[in-house]
Chains A and B, each alone.
Chain A
């Protein structure tokens, strides 16, 4: 929040300097900060009611009838149309670097597309290259977004490798930089993928920090095997992408991350729910009480994976994303139903667009095709069309899944995600009757293909207000590059952590008080070449991260011995096994044995 004021000043400066269509924008500017909407049906996630709404300096100041407002403010007559909180797209990847290329929608183009679709806040993913510090990657993304973003934004940070340094950086990000969500990858073997132990440790850290664990759920080991097999069979086109990533592999990883999250009592958020099986696993886990949230994306709600078999390579490649779109054509309908009934809660777009020439990097090998689909502009209309028009959800639930739930999970509520006095003036006046046909010709993204090409959707924003200013009106976008503010998010979001806290109080474990066992003890070899499935706990002094305990052995590695005493370091870790029979014997017991 401290950032708010200076940013606001910057914003004003930038607005004046950079605004598009300068003369008229400058003229409007003073008044633009005060705005009255009359005769709207205000839609929150819990209720709808008719009222006027007055906003000033980017905040909602008054809601009610017959408001007393300064003279001469700009007034919009809603004519009873729905006014709802601006959408929050919880998952974007604007301006994302990939092997020296960058996705075609940068923060300017991307947020413009978002605003055009009624989304007034995006949360982008910081993807640090393994080996690069989380903080410097975060600062890099901040810089890109601050200079270009047209709407408020926040950032998730992806954990692409795991060691003690990363843990310290996570702490810093949570405490000082307004990040409360981290994504781990169960896929992308040898690149981003973490092992189960690492995931366990990351989740433990995340829980202690009060953040949300996000997971990209696909079993990367199996995917790698399948990719090899499919390439060996001579399948190199985009259909290989989906063949090598069947939905069972997604469901498996979701199930595994749910298990680890339960074990660590860490809230879990599954990004990109793409298949029925994965959604089912989430729904079942919720019924068992797991604190888990599922995020279907525009693409999985709006289209399917049959296009991977398109004869047009460029078109087929445009659908490449991971987990892939399911070839099962009933998937979108199924996911919309789960979204409507509350089994899935949040929607994003995972907007990450690459042009055909960029995709063509993988023209001879589907594993090299850069991944990502569009959807930030289409998200709201598409959900309206698939869910509200069909009667699966009402407009309140629509607000919940497009905005409110996201704000709650990521601790932005009620500043975002609600129309209330004191909330940010990010609003959308929604026209449920307008019909449009999605096409790459008319969309605001830079990408050549739109995966929803030709889809007719009903419902669209009529007016979009971001930071108290009108950014979409009469079909015209008036966005301002760089006026988007970074919105910091605090840890321990109530919506998520109230339950977690209650559970951790209950989860205390106690040993059974017993007298010492003083019977005979069998003699065993000290360095066991064990034949039995005896546990290997001692071999992995885990949890150091969380408990801060110092595994004695690791000090060997600090290695300033002149003698080279740590030559034994390359011996298997099993040697750290607790010695059952200490050298010299364990007096009383061995004699009995």
Chain B
């Protein structure tokens, strides 16, 4: 409601604006024209426009006028163990605007077990209250069951969310099993959503983390050592396989390594509908800093998947971004103070994760990709704004300078040079992962909702003016192909006569030695031996119930102290039987 009221606030004088003498840059072409905008919408484009007298005019002096950037991945004001990230929606969106980004898409992260819609409404209220630019929301699916499915359906149809993220990492927490992924992908593929995936193999990470800690490695370098880029690439590969199987468009968030990017680019060559999102950090810096002797500095780089220690990574990712193998950029801006990071000072697995980048993203890509000649300014617009708008189904309202589009514009000064430092940045974080980097290219004027928010180096952002922009399902950019494939994918059985020959006798209950299909019958995860150690003799049922959970899931973790064997009941067989019966009773 708040948002709707806001839309009806009568326009002020500031709402009429003429940009003269600019070179308009879209993702397909560049041309010289003036732009007139009113009520936050572009009304006219051309030469010698007829506009009302006395309106504010901005002289572009031949500089480029580009669609405002869309940062497709932020985590502002994210709750974390009772605290929140230091950049709230106000601080965060100010930083965004300062860097030429006029729209952000934040991630709603519902606590596992809680309602997606409630979490969504919570984020809406935070963002509506504080955001200085337009925003949308991705919703992360942190657990999966029928009621979640129902909520996803509601979010898609009624709440303006068309993209949902699932996690393949964070074992025992957010992580989804392959079967759950399959179900989610299938559902979203049918409903016209975009599946986003945090791609890392959480199971192996958990093993590696334990190994690192055992070896006594507790500092931030353990973070990257326990999350090698192969694990990222593996998960990307798996996600693509499932997406291809379910005919669902896939969006890989945070492409951090060469291997992961390679998998995406190979999959695209094979025809998969997959989009890769490198972030400001992976395009601009690398993971060598995890070995910094300054703990606080090393910790400020902690994010997942981690920055790759391979220093050639940023260049490689920029090249793939330029060639179109990667499509969208975000910042994954999620900033913690040093004191917050220090929660993990004795154990890297406890360091809150996230890096800055919302302010630096546009300049960084300009510097790394356009000034180096990897991409032209049109491609720059595509990867910083247009492609994101297309995937979000907001195109051409966002992501294009055209009559009828939102008046979110940036006058880009390709010659400006500035040095990134935490001293001058607009984020509240004490560290900046790009500290000391000299970047060429910066916004000289930023127009958001038709209003000047950055001019002459001064930021005039207003908290709470940002509107929630609903995204509708079935974005053409992804779904035209998916729809065509669906029509082709119909399977047919072979018409055969009934088989009427002899049939062997077999025991349907015991799936014995043969690797034969998916028997739901077989008692796999019932490690008979381990039941010996479950000592539920004297205590009552509660203990027994407690026992049952452990051995079925992670049998290896049960210690087998030999001395305990003497406590076994003499008739272990009966004991097993009773346990199995009990198990069956519980699970059928």
Contact = CB atoms under 8 A, between A and B. Distances in A.
A85 to B, nearest CB: 30
Interface stretch (B87-95, B150-158, B511-519): B511-519
B502 A567 contact: no
A248 B567 contact: no
B542 interface: yes
Given A361-B504, A564-B540, A190 B206 contact: no
Contacts of A537: 205-206, 209-210, 213, 226, 349
A17 to B, nearest CB: 30
A569 B558 contact: no
Nearest to A277: B270
A162 interface: yes
Interface stretch (B310-318, B340-348, B372-380): B340-348
A355 B504 contact: yes
Which of A237, A356, A533, A570 counts the most B-chain CB atoms under 10 A from its CB?
A: A533
Interface stretch (B34-42, B418-426, B459-467, B529-537): B529-537
B543 interface: yes
B494 to A, nearest CB: 5
Contact of A201 (B213, B245, B556): B556
A135 to B, nearest CB: 12
A165 B530 CA distance: 8
A217 interface: no
Among A185, A193, A252, A312: residue with most chain B CB under 10 A: A252
Contact of B217 (A97, A509, A530): A509
Nearest to A160: B524
A371 B515 contact: yes
Given A227-B517, A551-B559, A569-B547, A240 B211 contact: no
Interface stretch (A376-384, A410-418, A514-522): A514-522
Contact of B550 (A221, A521, A550, A569): A569
B206 A197 contact: yes
B295 A514 contact: yes
Interface string B182-217: 110010000000000010011111111111111111
Nearest to A102: B513
**Interface-centre pick from B216, B231, B545 (highest chain A CB count, 10 A):** B231
A99 B234 contact: no
B349 A367 contact: no
Interface stretch (B54-62, B97-105, B236-244, B387-395): B236-244
Interface size range of chain A in the complex:
35 or more
A533 to B, nearest CB: 5
A591 interface: no
Given A226-B245, A522-B340, A259 B559 contact: no
Given A188-B517, A259-B231, A562 B539 contact: yes
B81 A524 contact: yes
Interface string A180-214: 00000101111111011110110000000000000
Interface stretch (B5-13, B45-53, B170-178, B409-417): B170-178
Given A131-B528, A559-B535, A165 B560 contact: yes
Contact of B491 (A235, A516, A549): A235
Contact of A522 (B79, B109, B230, B339): B339
A312 to B, nearest CB: 8
B269 interface: no
Nearest to A547: B214
B209 A357 contact: no
A574 B174 CA distance: 12
A532 B560 contact: no
Nearest to B555: A163
A509 B225 contact: yes
Contacts of B480: none
Contact of B170 (A225, A226, A535, A538): A535
In the A-B complex, list the 9 residue pairs whose CB atoms are closest, starting with the nearest: A98-B514, A559-B535, A569-B546, A537-B209, A221-B178, A163-B555, A564-B539, A367-B517, A570-B546
Interface of A: 96-101, 103, 127-131, 160-167, 185, 187-193, 195-198, 200-201, 216, 219-227, 230, 233-237, 239-240, 243, 246, 248-249, 251-252, 255-256, 259-260, 262-263, 309-314, 316, 322, 352, 355-358, 360-361, 363, 366-372, 509-517, 519-525, 528-545, 547, 549-551, 554-555, 557-564, 566-570, 572-574, 578, 580, 593
Interface of B: 78-83, 109, 111, 167, 169-175, 177-179, 182-183, 186, 198, 201-219, 221-222, 225-226, 228, 230-231, 233-234, 237-238, 241-242, 244-245, 291-296, 298, 304, 337-340, 342-343, 345, 347, 349-350, 352-353, 491-499, 501-508, 510-520, 522-530, 533-540, 542-543, 545-547, 549-551, 554-561, 564, 567
29 contacts: A127-B513, A161-B527, A163-B529, A188-B518, A190-B525, A219-B178, A222-B178, A224-B518, A263-B228, A314-B499, A360-B502, A361-B503, A512-B291, A514-B295, A519-B339, A523-B82, A523-B83, A524-B343, A531-B111, A532-B353, A533-B167, A533-B170, A534-B353, A536-B202, A537-B210, A540-B210, A560-B537, A568-B546, A574-B173
